[in-house]
Structure formats: structure tokens, C-alpha cells
Amino acid sequence: MGKQYEIPVGAQHISLLEPLHFKFTTGNEKIIDTAASVYYVHRGIEKACCTKFKFRQVSFVVGRVCGLCSISHTTAYSQVAEKLVKIEIPRRAKYLRMLVIELDRIHSHLLCLSHVAENSGFEALFMKTMQYREAFMEMLEAVCGNRVQFDYSIVGGVSRDLKPETARMILTGLKKFRPQLQELFHIYQNNWTLSLKNKGTGVITRKDALRLNVVGPFARATGLETDVRSQTEDLLPWKEAGFRIITEQTGDVYARNMVRLREVENSMEMISNVIDGLPESPIIQETKSFPDGEAVVRLEAPRGELFYYAKGNKTQVLERLKIKAPTFSNISAMVEGFRNNEYGSVPAIIASYDPCLSCTAR
């Protein structure tokens, strides 16, 4: 078994949700070198957004950039478009956007955690996490009317209001979820075999995270305090909702799991705060003006910093729209993180990166 194997993972592989291709050079199943090719999903959305679609429609198109962070994409685009057409959206719309973003964060994190569990061979935990996640899918469906593609934020506000009975349903669901979250905490922390698989694998140090510009939970797991929510008070009132930065020190798979679980906890607090302090106001600010000038927006998607650059030219159609997805910044760190790991733990590491290649490739 001394000879070196070239192990291709992807484009179709059971432990991958999306087509990405890794080529591992391994000796004795220990990874020596890695090569990645990620642009399987390139569809040309940026081009279409500045030729084919009017700027009102674009907010639905960018939602289809990624099904997991669709609300983050639509919200970021709506914010940048609102900067271009120079309108201020009502407070209630801001709160509702925050509500859906946090719900989406919870479901995305739970999905990632369950995927980590399955890829480390713990099928029962995968099933358990997915089972708990379904509650949040139902909440999202009740709020937005669809399970994955929310189309909730539109230019000028949000598309539908929050019904009181829906709010009640969400609060009861959160109450029901709290003990379940503690159970998940217990398993992810204390299960011995899982810790064998997760502790000390796929390590990225804080220095590497800074050097390679890592974002999101991936970076926070290394102890790097970077979270756009703490920097963009002007767009959405995160601090009022009770947001706090969550970091872990050891940048391994286990730390990423912990960051995600604790962020889920924090998001639950934020959701209940948002629902309690929901201000009364119209939910949409209509406008007749056309986008002009250029603007940038940063937003914290479940996977990290989402960056939108838009340039308008006083017509229905934008001049240029640039989307920078979270995973885009993490690719170089992803390749680094595999070095000197067992091939056996590769699927778990990939899942713990929580790669979103449809965001990256667009």
C-alpha cells in the first residue's frame, strides 16, 4: 500500500451535493496534494442580469444563484438596488428581512451539520438533524410561501407581510426546538467516534485564515473575529436584534460544527427578538426612478460575506452586476485544509467547509 493513488472525487460523488471535482494524491490514504476544479455550475447569471432582465426582475434571478442562501442574495441585491434608486425602505421590511435571513441561516447550518454527520459515517445523526430541520422548512414555507426559493425581499421592501398566527407558529416552533438543539449539542460534542473523525482534521490556523482571506463560519472557527453583521448596522439593525460574534479557537471540523451550532442558538434569540419588537409600518416603498451610479453592499450569508457591486445607467437594465459569494473567498483555503489528512476524513472536511459552488460559479 505504499504506492501513491490519484483519487478523483467528483463531479458525481455520493458525498457531494454539487458538482465539484477534487483530485487527491494520496499515499497510504494520507493526502499529499490536492487539485480542485469548481466551475461546473457556471451559468452566466451576471451577464443575464445586465442584459436580459429589468432591475426589478433581477432580484428573483439572483435568488436562483443559490438555493441555500437565496434570501441573502435577494436581500443583498435589493439593498444595492435601493442604494442605486436612492430609497429608504420601511423599518418593518428591514425586520422581516432579518427574520427570514436568520431562519434561512438556521436551516442552512442544520443542513451543513447533518451533511458533516453523514459524511463522517454517522447516518443516524444525519437523520436526526434533518428531522429537526424540517420544522424550520415549514416555518419558512409559512412565511415566504415556498420551501427553498423564498423570493422574499424585492426592491423596495418585502413581498409579503408576516401574519400574527405565523409569528405564533414560529415562536412555538422555537420553543419546541430548544431541547432538541441541546441534544444535538450533546451529540456533536460528546460522541466519541464523531470526535475521532472531527477533532484535529482539516485544520486551518488563524494566520492562514487571515492570509487567505477566509470568511464566514470557516474563518470564525479559527478564532478570527470577522462577521459582516457587526459592520453593516446601516442596512439592517443587527445589534438591536441581539447579534453577537461567535468564535472558536481550534480551526478544525469540530470547531466549525460548534460555531454553527452556537450560531443557530444565537439566531434563535434574534428571531424571537425580531418577532417581539416588530414595528408597525408599510412593508414596501414603491419607486418610479431608475438605478444610477454605483454602489456596493456586504451581507453575512450563512456561509460568510456576500458582496454585491452594481452600476446603473438611468435605464431599466443595469450596467454591471458583480456577485462575490462566500465560498469564492474560501476556495484557496479549502485546498490548503486537506493537507496531511486521512482520505477517510475527506468527505467530512468537504462538508464542513459547506461549499456553495453554485454561488461561486454563478
We find the least distance from the C-beta atom of residue 273 to another protein, in angstroms, to be: 21
Nearest 5°: the CA angle 81, 85, 88 is 85
We find the least distance from the C-beta atom of residue 287 to another protein, in angstroms, to be: 14
> Interface mask (CB under 8 A) for another protein, residues 87-116, using x and -?
------------------------x---x-
23 binds another protein (CB under 8 A): no
Count residues binding another protein (CB under 8 A).
Answer: 111
* Interface of this chain with another protein, residues 27 to 46, rule: CB under 8 A: 29, 39-46
| Beta pairing, strands 320-324 & 21-27 | unpaired
The counts of H helices and E strands in the chain are 13, 8
We find the least distance from the C-beta atom of residue 182 to another protein, in angstroms, to be: 12
Task: Name residues whose C-beta falls within 8 Å of residue 263's C-beta, 6 or more positions apart in sequence.
Answer: 105, 109, 217, 246
Strand partners, 22: 9, 36
Q: How many CB atoms lie within 10 A of CB 171?
A: 14
C-alpha cell at 72: 441573502
81 binds another protein (CB under 8 A): no
C-alpha cell at 360: 461561486
* Interface of this chain with another protein, residues 111 to 130, rule: CB under 8 A: 111, 115, 117-125, 127-128, 130
Return the range that interacts with another protein (CB under 8 A); candidates 3-11, 90-98, 171-179, 248-256: 3-11
* Interface of this chain with another protein, residues 203 to 232, rule: CB under 8 A: 210-213, 215, 225-226, 228, 230-232
1 binds another protein (CB under 8 A): yes
* Interface of this chain with another protein, residues 302 to 321, rule: CB under 8 A: 305, 307, 309, 311, 319-320
191 binds another protein (CB under 8 A): yes
Residue 230 is given by DSSP the state G
Q: Which is nearer to another protein, 276 or 286 (CB)?
A: 286
Cα–Cα distance between 70 and 68 in angstroms, integer?
Answer: 6
We find the least distance from the C-beta atom of residue 263 to another protein, in angstroms, to be: 18
Q: Which of 34, 70, 75, 153 binds another protein (CB under 8 A)?
A: 70
We find the least distance from the C-beta atom of residue 254 to another protein, in angstroms, to be: 12
244 binds another protein (CB under 8 A): no
C-alpha cell at 89: 425602505
Reference 59, options 200, 155, 129, 162; nearest CA is 155
Q: Which is nearer to another protein, 61 or 278 (CB)?
A: 61
HSE, side-chain direction, 13 A CA sphere, residue 194: 25
197 binds another protein (CB under 8 A): yes
Q: Which of 85, 96, 103, 346 binds another protein (CB under 8 A)?
A: 346
Cα–Cα distance between 71 and 64 in angstroms, integer?
Answer: 10
Q: Which of 79, 329, 353, 354 binds another protein (CB under 8 A)?
A: 329
Q: Which is nearer to another protein, 91 or 206 (CB)?
A: 206
| SS (HEC) of 150-205 | CCCEECCEECCCCCHHHHHHHHHHHHHHHHHHHHHHHHHHHCHHHHHHHCCCCCCC
